[in-house]
Structure formats: structure tokens, C-alpha cells
Amino acid sequence: MASLRGKPPVLGWLEERLALEVFRSLMEHKKVPRHSATMWYYFGGITLFLFGIQVATGILLLLYYRPSASEAYESVQFIITRVSFGWLIRSIHSWSANLMILAAFIHMFSVVFLRAYRKPREVTWLSGIGLLGLALGFGFSGYLLPWNTISYFATKVGTDMAASVPLIGPALGKFLRGGEDVTGGTLTRFFGFHVAVLPALTTALLLVHLFLVQNFGISSPPKVEEESRKAGQAVPQMPFFPNFFLRELMAWYAALAVLGALAAIFPWELGEKADPFGAAPAGIRPEWYFLAPFYTLKLIPSHVWFIEGELLGLLGFGLLAAWWVTLPFWATKRDGTERTRLLTGTGVALIAYLATFSALGYWK
């Protein structure tokens, strides 16, 4: 009780009941490594900030959205034409989803190049990969909700790809679509995934991820650790609060400025209402974060020896994903040394592949 003396009664009452003193002590003792690559640490917080924007704007859209094939398109049209600033809220929601996934990818690759996956942070890496997968799930499930022509046929292509997965494909495709084809039932099911299942999983995994980051702290790059060891000094640190926290706030402010500019200058278009019995328009393609695998599958011949090309491609992507997920376990040898060249080469090659094939998938 002595720590509450001399403070305003209301503040003292809150600190005593909410254990704010423990939180303050945690913030005072938390440190962040300070070096030339510290800026890359901000992208984890930027991803979290954009997720918060997603939640806030999603709740506002839920006030008017109706998840049925007969009303979904009209409800979105009502939001962007009749609701005050509805077009802006929807545009912010759509753009923040894309920026969140972009920030998550940047955060993932920064973890790789800064070697932040090393012991004892393997589970932190796995939880982060899980969160990236959930973010992609948000993008995939939310894409269908406006029930427009592009989203309908893109979802049809995506669920057909899922149905081609060996062994579990047919059951997986039926589970996603709620039947044999993309229908109004699929829309309702994707809506449930988007607003209930995925948010619940993301919240749980996010708490685990933040706990692990807090428990093990932020890793320093091996080069910085080695230089400090040679100099006989500890790795330079900065207090999380207020030093790093204020810098993170400025990063959020910059992200908000970019988001606001994109939403206002390039409002997200609605397009035409989906017609399940109509012909698919030319040039159907998924969102940019699925373009690289989509274009790769298009390049694979229909049959390679006795295997269907699409099946072979999906098997390849599955093996690549498994190899990437298990990165902390093969990137370090048993003696503790790292496979630096292999890891760096893999990271650079994967970035080059994603950038090149995404661009080719967009322009071709």
C-alpha cells in the first residue's frame, strides 16, 4: 500500500485492483537491442496495429452486412453509397488487410535474416508462422463476402485447388464450400470463419506469441552479439518504455498515414454482383499474396510423367512449406553453429520467387 501514497485516489484505486504496478514494473525492466537493424523490429508491432484496425472496421461493417447470397452484395452496396463514410470504412478494412499481410511477410523475413528464430525461440517462430497462416485465411475467407463476380470465381478457383490436395482434398474442398460447389452456403460458411473461427484462433495464438516474445525477449543478431563479445561489452539496449514504445507509435502513425492515403485515393471497388450461372470473366486471379503459387501452377504441364501437374505442384508447395516451417531445426547444426549461407540463400531465393512470380501472375 505504501506505493499508492501520494497518488490521486482514483489512480491508486485502479492500481490496487488492476495490478497496474506489476505492468509498470514489467515495462520499466523490458529492454530492446539497439543496433543498425533495430528498425526491422517495428514490423511486428505494425502487423498487430493493422490487425486492430481490421477488428475495429470489421465491427463497423458488421452493423450493416448481411451474409446471404441474396443480400450480401446489396448490403455492401448500401454501405458504400448510403452510410456516412461507409465507403471509407470498407476501403480501410480492405487495404488494412493487404497491408497487414505485407507487414507480416516483412516481419517473417526480418526474423530469418536477423536470426531471431534461434534457441530458445523455436516455438515463437512456429506461433508466428501460424499467425501468418491465419492472416492468409482472413484474406481468403473475406474475399468472398462482397459476393461480386471476381470474388466468386476466384474463390471457386481457390477451393478447387484445395480439393486437389492428395488424400484429404475432396473432404477439404467439401468442408470449405459446404457442398460440391461455391454457393450461398459457402458465403455463410466463409462469413462464420471470418468473424468467429479465425478471430478466436488468432486471439489465442496471438496471446501465446506475445507471451513468448515477452518471456524470451527480443533476439540480437549474431553479428551484433559477436562484436559486443569481442569488445568485452554487453549488447547495447534501449528501454522498451518510453524509448522503443514511442518509436513504435511513430511507425504506427506512418502506417496509418499510408493506409488513410490508399483508402481515400484508391477506394476499394465493388464490381458486379456474382452470377453463379454466368461465365467466368477473363483474367481471374487471386489476391496478390496467392499470386505466386497460382501462376506457378499455371506453368506446370497438365501431366508430368504419370502425375497430374496440379497435384505435383501442390505436393511441391507442401514440401516447401514444411521445410520453411521447420527452419529453426535445420538452420542450426548440432554443434550450435549456423548454416548461414544456406539460410541466407534460401531467404533471398524465396523473396525473389515470390516477387517475380507475383508480378508475372499479375501482368499475364
The pLDDT, as a whole number, for residue 298 is: 87
Kindly report which listed range (4-18, 36-50, 90-104) carries the lowest average pLDDT score.
4-18
Q: Which three cell numbers stand for residue 108?
A: 517473417
Burial of 329 (0-12, 13-18, 19+ CB in 10 A): exposed
Residue 55 pLDDT class (50, 70, 90 cuts): very high
Mean pLDDT for 202-209 is 98
**pLDDT score of 11 more than 90:** no
Query: Where do the DSSP E strands lie in 209-278?
Result: 237-239
What does the alpha-carbon distance between residue 5 and residue 232 come to, in Å, rounded to a whole number? 43
pLDDT score of 12: 76
Q: What is the mean pLDDT of residues 200-215?
A: 96
Model confidence pLDDT, tens digit, residues 229-250 = 888 898 999 999 889 999 999 9
Q: How far apart (Å, rounded) are the C-alpha atoms in residues 283 and 148? A: 15
Kindly report the number of other CB atoms within 10 A of residue 40's CB atom: 17
Unique residue bearing C-alpha cell 535445420 = 330
Q: CA-CA distances (angstroms) from residue 140 to 155, 157, 218, 267, 276?
A: 8, 11, 31, 20, 19
- Tell me what percent of the residues of the chain surpass a pLDDT of 90: 71
pLDDT above 70 covers what percent of the chain?
Answer: 96
Which one-letter DSSP state was computed for residue 5?
Answer: T
Name the phi and psi angles at 332, rounded to 5: -120, 130
Q: Which three cell numbers stand for residue 255?
A: 502506417
Q: How confident is the model at residue 355 (pLDDT cuts 50, 70, 90)?
A: very high
Contact 141, 196 (CB under 8 A): no
Domain boundary assignment for the chain: 38-220+232-279
pLDDT number for residue 164? 85
Whether 63 contacts 28, CB under 8 Å: no
Check if the beta carbon of residue 198 is closer than 8 Å to that of residue 138. yes
pLDDT band at 5 (very low <50, low <70, confident <90, very high): low
105/129 Cα distance (integer angstroms): 10
Q: What are phi and psi of 70, to 5 degrees?
A: -85, -20
> Does residue 7 surpass a pLDDT of 70?
no
Phi, psi of 56 (to 5 degrees): -65, -50
The pLDDT of residue 1 is 45
Q: Cα(200)–Cα(206) distance, rounded to whole angstroms?
A: 10
Average pLDDT over the chain reads 91
Higher pLDDT, 299 or 53: 53
What Rg do the C-alpha atoms of the chain give, in angstroms?
Answer: 23
* Architecture of the CATH domain 38-220+232-279: Up-down Bundle (1.20)
Cβ atoms of residues 67 and 188 within 8 Å: yes
Which pTM value belongs to this model? Answer: 0.92
For range 198-225, the mean pLDDT: 94
The average pLDDT across 326-343 equals: 89
Specify the pLDDT at position 2.
Answer: 45
| Cβ–Cβ < 8 Å for 139, 97 | yes
Which of 334, 339, 320 is closest to 115 using CA atoms? Answer: 339
* C-alpha grid cell, residue 243: 524509448
Residue 205, pLDDT > 50, answer yes
Please write the tens of the pLDDT for every residue from 265-322.
999 999 999 998 888 887 788 889 999 999 998 888 876 666 676 778 888 999 999 9
Helix (H), strand (E) counts: the chain: 16, 4
Decide if pLDDT at 224 tops 60.
yes
Containing H/E element for 307? strand 307-308
